[in-house]
Amino acid sequence: MKELKREKMTNQIHPTTIVDPEATLGEDITIGPNCIIGPRVVIGSGVRIGANTIIENFTTIGEGCRIFYHAVLGTEPQDLKFKGEESHLVVGPNTTIREFVTMNRGTKEGGGVTRVGEGCYLMAYAHVAHDCQLGNHVILANAVNLAGHIIIADHAVVGGISAVHQFVTIGEHAFIGGCSAVTKDVPPYVRAVGNHARIFGVNSIGLSRKGFSGETIARIKRAYRYLISSKMNTTQALEAIEKNLPASDEIQKITTFIRSSERGICK
């Protein structure tokens, strides 16, 4: 059988763009006018980069990402303890980064890497600070500001013009309403909003759209009734959940998240 030869796809780089010789580019990349691609940047195949974008040292952009105009990625962390040590920004494949998004590299104290997962969507003017760890399919709406060392789990959504305090953790499938100030951890599967953010029930619509069954959503709601609506303290509520509800992955994630929270959860 004759072996098929794969033709190499050429990159389209505007002549006004500067690409450092130490940068590594995949195939089929498009880079618009007036961009700067710094040293030791790695850009995966199929990436589209809009005009006036800056990507600085030690940044890795996964395959299939779309980066819109005026984004600034991989700059030094805004941390007074940073002394110029090597640190990284890693963006997963198929992530969309809209206009004027800014993302900083990590710091030595935070593990040295700021990381954004696969298939995320970061809307215009969002900021991801040093050492943040975003899971897969996370959505940050317009002008969301993440301070340093924040963890956001898979499929979480943060509404526009919201600010998240450093070291906060947001659980998977959580939904943060717009204009919120998030100062404590937000458990999985809930809706939270306000200044300061409080829980206002389960993210039922979001869970349904992601394929969670009605039975599973009902079980999650029952768990949070113990935590939010009862007169139990957190320890008593967790014991009641584990005693009265059938074991499941969702219940396990809720109880583990709350027990491991260092900042305490918003309630």
Which regions in the chain score pLDDT beneath 70? 1-8
202 beta partners: 190
Q: Which of 46, 119, 131, 137 is catalytic?
A: 131
pTM listed for this prediction: 0.95
Q: Which of 148, 160, 171, 206 is catalytic?
A: 148
Provide the pLDDT for residue 133.
98
Complete edge-to-edge strand list for the sheet that includes strand 169-170? 24-25, 42-43, 59-61, 88-91, 113-116, 133-134, 151-152, 169-170
Bond prior to 196 in cis (omega within 30° of 0):
yes
> Is residue 122 in some structural domain?
yes
Quote the domain boundaries for residue 244. 209-260
232 and 135 housed in the same domain: no
Q: Which among 131, 149, 167 is the end of a domain?
A: 149
Phi, psi of 29 (to 5 degrees): -100, 140
Structural domain tally of the chain?
2
- The rounded Cα 137 to chain-centroid distance in angstroms is 8
> Is residue 53 in some structural domain?
yes
Strands 54-55 and 36-37: parallel
> Is residue 201 in some structural domain?
no
CATH of residue 213: 1.20.1180.10
Provide the pLDDT for residue 4.
46
State yes or no: is 148 an active-site residue: yes
State yes or no: is 130 an active-site residue: yes
> Is residue 112 in some structural domain?
yes
59 and 142 housed in the same domain: yes
223 and 139 housed in the same domain: no
Q: Which of 130, 137, 155, 165 is catalytic?
A: 130
> Is residue 230 in some structural domain?
yes
22 and 122 housed in the same domain: yes
Provide the pLDDT for residue 7.
55
Provide the pLDDT for residue 76.
98
